[in-house]
Structure formats: C-alpha cells, structure tokens
Structure 1
Amino acid sequence: MAAQTSRPTETTTVADALDRCPFEPETIDGHRDDDGCPEYLLPSTPALVQMLEAPPRVVLSEPERAALPPALVLPPSDADRDGVIDDEDRCPVTAEDKDGFEDEDGCPEADNDEDLVADATDQCPDVAETPNAFKDDDGCPDEDPDADGDGLGFEADRCPLEPGDKTDGCPREPKPALALPGFALPLVVAAAPTVEAPQPAAAPAGDLDEDGQSDDVDSCPMSKEDGDGFEDEDGCPEPDNDSDGIPDSKDKCPYEAEVINGVKDDDGCPDKGEVIVHVTENAVVIDKVVQFKPASATLAPSASSLLKQLAATLKAARALSVEIQGHTDDVGRATANITLSQKRAEAIKTFLTKAGVDGSRLVAKGYGPTRPRASNKTAKGREQNRRVEFLILGEAK
C-alpha cells in the first residue's frame, strides 16, 4: 500500500474578510499563516513564489528642469544727462540747470522768481523784484521808496518819477482838458463888478516886436505876428494854423486839419480812411488792441501803425498830459504782472517820445492785475484785462 503524504494541521484562524482562501483552511505551518490559504496549493519553489508576488511599485520622479537665466535689467534712460530719468523728467531733452531751485523736475528755470529779471543778471534770483521804479533791474525786493522825493511811496504815487503834491504825487492837479472836441468848457462864475479908482492917463503904446500891432492890443507884444493871413490881428504868430500838429512850414494844407487815420498823416491834408484814435473827455481811446510779444514788453509789429496814429493825435492835442496805463490778467504772480505792465507802459512812452511827443507830457504806470475790466475766470475776460489805456491827466504845463 502506497505511503500517503502527510498534511499539516488544518486550523482556520483567519477571518473571511482577510482570507484569500475562505473555503480552504489555512495550514498552520509557520509559513504565511495570515493569508488563509493552505500552502500545498501554492508553488513550493521559492523562485516561482517570488515571480507570483506583486512587483514593487516604482515611482518615477519628474526630470529636473534647467533654471532660466535672470532677466536682463536695463538702466533707466536719461537723454539730457541731468540726473533725472526720462520717465520723471518734464524736459527730457533739456538739461536741468542744477541751481537748487526745483531741480527735481528736470527743467531749467531761467527766471526762478518770475520777476522778469533773468537769473543770470538777477542779484536775488529766488526772491522777486518789487516793481516800484526803484532799482527794478537788480531783481531784488525793495522797500516802498520815494524815488522822486515828494513824500509819497510808489503805491500812492501816480507819478513815481516826478515830484508832485501830496494828493497823487503828480506835479500838477488834474484839470479838465480844454479846446478839444468832446470837452466841456469850465463853468466861469462872474465876479461882482468892482469900482476901480481912476488911473492916470497912460503913455502912448509902443510896438516892441515891430509887427504893426501896438503893445496895448498885441496879445504877444514880444513875439512878432507872422502875417500869414490867419488871425493876424492878435499880434501872435501861429506856427500851426489848423492845429493839426503839423507846423505850417511842413503843412501842405495849412488851413485844413489833417485827418489822423494812418493815411499820409504827415502831409497835413485831410484824407479818407478809418479813424481809430479818439479823444474823449477822460481818455485817449484806440479802437484796436496794442499788441506785445507774449510774456514780454516788446511791441508786436502790428502796434507800430497804431502808436504812430496815437503820436500824431497827441502832437495835435498839445495841451494834454496823459498817463499810459499797463494792465494784465491775474495769471501768474502779481509782482511779475505788475513789473511786466510797467515795462510795457514804458515801452509805449519810449515809442511816443521817439515819434515826437514831448516826454514831459507822458507818465508810464503799470497796474498789473489790480484793475480788472472783466472777470478773470474766463478766457474772454482775461483777454479784456490784458490792455493798455491812456488816461488824460489834464493840461500839460
């Protein structure tokens, strides 16, 4: 009888939930007793057992990526090389002047204090000049001086360069202009008649100027009548019969007044053309605007014709004394605007003087933005406030 193979003891000790062979009892033999399977059902060869076992899990790692090179950082550009980079430079192609005044904006400031005196000649480049006709070209502020020594400072003195009385600082009190169209004659109140004591008989009158008019009826006993047929009975010479400002010696029409309109105003004859300069009761008015180059006291080319007509009018109205007033809007510093208006008024006075108007009849005064004609809140109003006016002060001496 063939020998039978002995089996190991069969004892189930593994719960079905964990038993790989729930219908076959585990063989408790010290070999894999926790899988619930009898070992006689498994391959007995260790090599075959190893092949049947699950292979180890291999986790592949991602390949390392090569690091990118750092981004190239370019230095900020500075086209004008003034130390202020172009992104922050308000004047990227014009170098900052590095004078300690607003150097961070990158723009040169030719006039730091905006007093119209360039820093190159300004003795106080960071403090504005006081425009008061006293050392106005040094660029430094001054006290309110009395340049003409009449006891009135600049603010109160309407004639700061001419000594005058205490009312306005001018050498005369304004009087109504006479003998011009549009001027009312002064009211003359007749004095009560007086009884004069009898005078001794006068000696026969002579004729000192030998013009044929006895001195007792000669209005100009020391000046000889010119005998030109014009008012010869008064005994006075009339160098300009028609009172058009052109002496008879040069007047082609000595008995007809020139019409001042920019058309041959120096020949003394009336002609056709638009009259733009008018004498009113209080002022000499120009219908057009006297232009200057922007932000300067230099007259624009268009101003020449207007001022020539103004000069001709003033030469004809020899009895008038005029204040040339410069006015501005309120844009910018008030001190700078007052300085600009003063220089513009002086530029017009210089033009008129060179054109033959007696300079003693003219006063130049800049008021800046202190006397607006319209609101400065609109462009139209500011344009109206930038102007020049010619105020009649009265009769010239």
Structure 2
Amino acid sequence: MPINTAFAVGDLDNDGVDDAVDSCPNLQEDYEGTVDGCPSNFVPWYDEDYDGIEDHIDLCPNLKEHYNKFQDDDGCPDISPQGGEGGLPDSDGDGIVDTIDLCPTQPETFNGIFDTDGCPDDFGSGDRDRDGVPDSVDECPLSPETYNRFLDDDGCPDSVTDFAFVDTDNDGIQDSIDLCPTEPEVYNDYRDTDGCIDVSLDSSFVDTDGDGIANQFDICPADPETFNRFADYDGCPDSIPSFAGSLNDADGDRIMDIDDACPLEPERYNGFQDDDGCPDIPPYSSDNDSDLDGIPNSIDQCPKVKETYNKFQDTDGCPDLVADNKLPADTDGDGIIDHSDLCPTQPEIFNGFQDRDGCPDTYGSGDLDLDGIIDSDDECPLAKETYNKFQDTDGCPDSISGFSALDFDGDGITDLNDKCPLEPETINGYQDTDGCPDVSVMDSDDDGIRDVLDQCPLEPETWNRYNDG
C-alpha cells in the first residue's frame, strides 16, 4: 500500500493514503491493522447525512445529496444547474456546462444512459416511459425509473426514503435493530452489535480493572473480563469451555441447557431468580432498573438500593426486614404488634376483658354480666369483674382492701405505676400502660406520625428504613 507522507494533492482526508487507493477517501486511516485508508472500526454502512450514499464514497458526508438527476452519486447538494458549475454558462440548464456539453441547447435526459454527454437520448418504441429500461423488463412501463441507486433496474419510480438507513445515534447500527437508538454503541468487543453504550458514563461507578463493567456488577473487579462471547457479563477472565453431549451451554451463562429455562439468553446474576437461566428484566429498556432488583425505577421507591425479597413489602423495591421496621407489623391494626398478638389477623375488642391478647372476645350464654367469667365460676354473675390485677378471677367488681394494690381510678393500673392515679387510662392501643387518659392526637393516616409533623398526612408512611418519618 503506497503511503503519501507529504499529504499531497489527491489525499482528501490527509491520512497519508492516496485517494486512488484509499477505500475511505473521506475517513482518516488510524494505522491499526490493515492500511486501507479506513479507520479500524469502520463499518461500511455509515451514512451520517442519511442520503443513502455511504460515507466512505460520499464526497459530502455531512450534507445530503439533492436527487435532481445531476451528479446524484457524489453525495453532495448540487449547484443550481441554471448557473452552471463554477459559474460557467449552461444554456440548456441540464447541469453540464456548455464547454463540455455535446448538445448545449438540448438538456440531457438523466436516465442512466450516456448521462455525461449533455444530449437527450433516443429510445425505440419498446420504451414507452423513456427511462432506458425496455418495456419487456420494465415493471412500470408507463412511469419512468428514478435513478437513485435504489432498484434502478426495475423501471419504477422510487424515493430515497424507501431505503433510507435510519441511524439516529450515528453508531452504524440501524435503528430498527438498535436496542439503544439514541445512545451510540461503544465499540470495545463487548456486545458491539446491540447498539448500546457498555461503559457507564456515571463517574460514580468505579471500574478498577477497566473492562467496562462497573465494580458493583463485576464478580472479578481486579481482573478484566475476557470478551470471548462466553459469560462476558460477569467481569471475570475466562476461556470458552468445551462441552460434550448434553452438557451444552448455548448462552454461556454457566447454567447447562438442560437446566436453563432460557438456553439462548444468558442469566442476569442480580440475586433475583439467579438459577432459572433467564435474564430477569429486558437488558435495555426505556424503564431502567438501576439497582437490578427486578423492579423498574418508575415504581421502585428505592431505585438505587435493592429490594430484600422476604415476603414483606416485596413490591416497593426497598430493602427491609420485618424486625427493622420503626413500627413493627400490626396486620389487623388493633394496636397490638403481630409478635405479641395471639390473633394477628383479627383485631382485639377492647372491652376490659383480656384486652392485651389481641383477640376478639366472645362470650357464651352462660356469662350474664359479659365479663368473660362464666356464671358457674362467677361469684358476682350479675356484676362485671373489675380487671385491676386484684382478684380478677372472682368475677366481682373489686373494693379496695388493705391487701389490694391501690388503684384509685380503677383502670387496672396500680397507683404505684399509674402516672394519673385519679384519671383512668384510655385503653386504645396508644400508651395504654401509663395510666393516663390520652390526649387526642390527630394522625389521619394512622402511621404513628402526627399530622402536624407528617408531610403526607393522608398517606401512611412505608416503614422501610428509607426516609422513614
């Protein structure tokens, strides 16, 4: 390959390769691999200006060709034929200046036949639309062919948009097959055909070994991945194993095909159903999943922290442990937390009878005073027991004796422990052990945060250690 080190005339892209032998006269050679005048990452179908003429043969790769039957193959918008090229006269306005036009007063018929002589072409009776394609092979014999390098031999008119190669992000991968049509592919031998950027542009993600896989997803953060189409997502160096017989692993995710529910799609190891062999979410989606917990950001309340799958609020996307909740679970909402509630799904009936067991109280027909002590054992079957921890099994309302623990207000909390010994406790699941009637505190959503402090007074707090309170 001759190299022109002087960058003389005949080297449009000044890459040292003469245009005569330069396969990409408008793209500079980077001298990596074969010296053919093209960059090493050159993809032949680049068409930056979307005019249907590939960049390596397009003289104006950033400007669209004007398809007007005048130099339609150079990729450049044409100078108005009326003015002639370079300002020279062009009497017939066919884009061919008079000095080289064999028929300067008769415009050229641009039909692919002697289009450079400046003369209209003669056709026989077998070409009714005068497009140069004989009627015998012309699929549109009454409509002339549009010569634009797209199906120019079928004899039919067509537009460039019929075959335009749409590539919004200019990465050489057509939008129709580009998984990330607005983000250009990073060509690094890692999933170079999907059209997506492989390395995170967020500098907060550290990539110690520089293999394009952030440490947080890299199983081997200090050893670069070997990109060989085998488990290229784990970040570890590897060699392609040789499997025989039934021990095949077509997608290279280290789960044998016989056990792999998705043998052609590699497993995404993110702690969520990692043994089924299937990717858990689409690898590229308009709805991202930043923490890879299988819950898209749009509905993930903790998009940067993985969900803890423990059957407790597993759909909110936040890590949680039932024991870690600021307010422990109270399934039936009776104010008695589940681990102390004998009936966690049935609310307590606060009636002064076993109000701390968490169960609704039922009475048989043999308990006339409805104090929970059957009449056969009730010394006072027509008078309710006063539950104050003094002779609570006799079924009688208690009179304070010298042997009893003093409970002046009769709320079942002895005066020794009663902060309000003259005022009975309000048993309502709120500070029921202090012996005081509760001051009404407005908490519209019942999440334990008073309305005056609650930023969302009508929506209960989700207790998951993320902005709790």
Common topology (TM > 0.5): no
State the TM-score, normalized to the length of structure 2. 0.23
The answer to which structure, 1 or 2, has the higher relative contact order (CA under 8 A, 6+ apart) is 1
Query: Higher helix share goes to which structure?
Result: 1
